[in-house]
Amino acid sequence: MLVLGIETSCDETSVAVLKDGKILSNVVASQIEIHKKFGGVVPEIAARHHLTNLPIVFKEALSKANIKLNELNGIAVTYGPGLIGALLVGLSFAKGLSLSLNIPFVGVNHIIGHIFANYIVYPDLKPPFIVLMVSGGHTEILKVSDYENIEVLGKTVDDAAGEAFDKVARILGLGYPGGPEIEKAALTGKKDRFKFPRPLLNSNDYNFSFSGLKTSVLYKTKEFQNESIPVEDIAASFQEAVVEILLKKTFKAARNSGIRTIVLAGGVAANKRLREEANKLANAYNYNILIPPLQYCTDNAAMIAMAGYYKLSKKQFDDISLEAVPNLTI
């Protein structure tokens, strides 16, 4: 089965072609450089670029896959979560294509797409497994019991983990994006110097909270009114708090559900201290840890096509009136 994947939920315009679950092409046009100067993704600009780029990316994906239009058997497209204006470009294009080629189309949840990316990277991976999804927009613990059975065990109630990194970097006068900056500063800092709060650490659920942590850091810096602020120590102590919160809940989820495989996904998973601690805990408790390389964690259409391939095989077609859902959850 030849499946076309389309992803335009945020700042990457991407189209991919999969043949029976194997990538034939996966073209990504990133808008990162365009949005950089704004310090974030500007929805209107993102939508404009998707509209301009999509037909070009689409043509390239077809030609790289070396297939003809009418060979396609189905279309998979992200319908949420994401920026409404950006989502609509991909979704409407997919609808037009589905009508024009008279082939079925399916809407894919972007988060589920990220999970299905793992099946591309690790062809032997099979459910069940636990996913810690940590990025600029998401901080979630997911339980993947089966291909279709994915459950959100917990998520952040306020700021995302990546957002906490960015904001603390701002407080400490470090650059953007904050994650790598904090990581660098922490290298020479004392991680035990300050004991920042670990909100919800021992709560009974798997939820996170990072906005109180951010405020604590702010108050800590204020204590050094006339002295110079110990940036490295604060960075290291803050990073330690985040890592502890993230991993404690993740391993608790794995233990309680009896699942032995844990996948760390999203931009924050690039953090070396997080990886180090995760591997240490996995060795100690005998878990299997998978940390996909960053390029498979960023947004791409191959993962959408992969998730779509699954739905299409099961004939779970969507109606042409499917709507974009910016706040789509699992």
Instruction: Kindly list the residues in this chain that would bind ligand ADP in the complex (CB under 6 A).
Output: 135-137, 162, 165-166, 177-180, 183, 266-268, 270-271, 297-299
By CB under 8 A, name the one of 37, 258, 286, 293 that touches another protein: 37
Closest contact distance (angstroms) between CB of 200 and another protein is 15
**Amino acid identity, residue 11?**
D
Interaction residues for Zn ion, span 260-299 (CB under 5 A) = 299
Beta-bridged to residue 23, according to DSSP, are 18
Contacting residues for 89 by C-beta, under 8 A, at least 6 apart: 8, 47, 50, 51, 54
Contacting residues for 102 by C-beta, under 8 A, at least 6 apart: none
Interaction residues for another protein, span 160-189 (CB under 8 A) = 160, 162-163, 166-167, 170-171, 176
Closest contact distance (angstroms) between CB of 314 and ligand ADP is 26
Using the rule CB under 8 A, is 97 a contact of another protein? yes
Closest CA to 118 of 144, 152, 92: 144
Chain positions contacting ligand ATP, by CB under 6 A: 167, 211-212, 215
**Dist. CA 56–CA 13, nearest whole Å:** 10
**Dist. CA 58–CA 64, nearest whole Å:** 10
Q: In 87-227, which ranges are E strands?
A: 105-109, 129-134, 139-144, 150-155
Using the rule CB under 8 A, is 88 a contact of another protein? yes
Considering the complex, state which of residue 58 and residue 165 has its C-beta at the smaller distance from ligand ADP: 165
Using the rule CB under 8 A, is 133 a contact of another protein? no
Closest contact distance (angstroms) between CB of 111 and ligand ADP is 10
Is 39 annotated as contributing to ligand binding? no
Considering the complex, state which of residue 281 and residue 325 has its C-beta at the smaller distance from another protein: 325
- Taking a C-beta distance cutoff of 8 angstroms, is the pair 199, 164 a contact? no
DSSP 37-89: TTTS--HHHHHHHHHHHHHHHHHHHHHHHT--GGG--EEEEEEESS-HHHHHH
Beta-bridged to residue 12, according to DSSP, are 30
By CB under 8 A, name the one of 187, 201, 294, 320 that touches another protein: 320
Is 179 annotated as contributing to ligand binding? yes
Is 133 annotated as contributing to ligand binding? yes
By CB under 8 A, name the one of 33, 66, 100, 223 that touches another protein: 100
Is 114 annotated as contributing to ligand binding? yes
Closest contact distance (angstroms) between CB of 249 and ligand ATP is 18
Distances, alpha carbon 45 to alpha carbons 36, 84, 110, 165, 177, in Å: 12, 12, 20, 25, 20
Is 134 annotated as contributing to ligand binding? yes
* DSSP code, position 274: H
Q: Tell me, residue by residue from 61 to 100, as one string, x for binding to Zn ion by CB under 5 A and - for no binding.
A: ----------------------------------------
Closest contact distance (angstroms) between CB of 323 and another protein is 5
By CB under 8 A, name the one of 27, 29, 83, 182 that touches another protein: 83
Q: Is the dihedral of CA 85, 87, 91, 93 positive or negative?
A: positive
Q: Which residues are annotated as part of the binding site for Fe cation?
A: 110, 114, 299
Q: Which residues are annotated as part of the binding site for substrate?
A: 133-137, 166, 179, 183, 271
Q: Which residues are annotated as part of the binding site?
A: 110, 114, 133-137, 166, 179, 183, 271, 299
* Interface contacts to Zn ion, rule CB under 5 A: 299
